[in-house]
Structure 1
Amino acid sequence: MNPQLLNELVTFKMPFGKYKDKIICDLPESYLIWFNNQGLPPGKLGELIGTMYEIRLNGLEYLLKPLRTR
């Protein structure tokens, strides 16, 4: 797993929609599932949402806790 990508999950904000300005790691699971089913956006945002979906799916949220406390 790319450490830079993990750092971005706890700092990058959603640029649009219902959860605009919410940090990617704080997006609700239902929203991540919806994106996964509908198709991820292109580019960095899609990569981050897809990664966060996989982290939640596999119960790996604990990987982000140390990064959030910085």
Structure 2
Amino acid sequence: MPYISIECGPLTAPQKQALIEQVTLAAAKATAIPQQFFMVTVKELPDSSFGIGGRTIDRIKAEYKEK
């Protein structure tokens, strides 16, 4: 059974559903394995746990909103 794990920032329930559906569809198409055999998990991490260029994502978002 293929297993796909995705780590990302916070998502809404509709976003997670769409992500799981589309990743499953793409993986099934690429591998010719039926969709029902795929397991997909989404692990959400807070923006304070991600960093780009030495700054956390929550800080980057706050700075972007200030502009």
Question: Taking structure 2 as the reference length, what is the TM-score of the superposition?
Answer: 0.30
Report the structure number with the largest CA radius of gyration. Answer: 2
Higher relative contact order (CA 8 A, sep 6+): 2
Bigger proportion of residues as helix: 1
Question: Taking structure 1 as the reference length, what is the TM-score of the superposition?
Answer: 0.29
Bigger proportion of residues as strand: 2
